[in-house]
Structure 1
Amino acid sequence: MTTQSPTDEDVRRAAEELIARYGFQVALEDAKRRADVFAQDGRWPDHSTAMRILTVVEQLAGDAR
């Protein structure tokens, strides 16, 4: 079985959706929480994706300031 990593476009869309739905602050908190949970559970592919999303949320939040 082959799994496919999300594209950069997928990651950006997910980050933008989080921000649109919850605002910057909650999006940042949610993305951090998800990354932490995946790390604690040893779900490394999911953790990697969550960290990519968190990075984009942080970049977009910085750009908005």
Structure 2
Amino acid sequence: MTHEELQSYQERFNEIDKCDEPIRTRRLGSLMNDLELTYNIPILYDREYNEKNEEVMNLYRAVSYARKF
């Protein structure tokens, strides 16, 4: 993981956050999928992974919490 990669995902999140619903939530879901694939985020909670990848998980949680159902 490079800082530039993570920054790129953060910028993508910021741009998506400006969109109107329901497109916004769909795009946030796609961003979450991309983060999962890029950083091999486990499906189930993994404390060790979360501790080793704190920046990634902070962004992932922010994206997740931003969605509206």
Specify if TM > 0.5. Answer: no
TM-score range, shorter chain: 0.3 to 0.5
Say which structure is richer in helix: 1
Task: Report the TM-score when normalising by structure 2.
Answer: 0.38
Task: Report the TM-score when normalising by structure 1.
Answer: 0.39
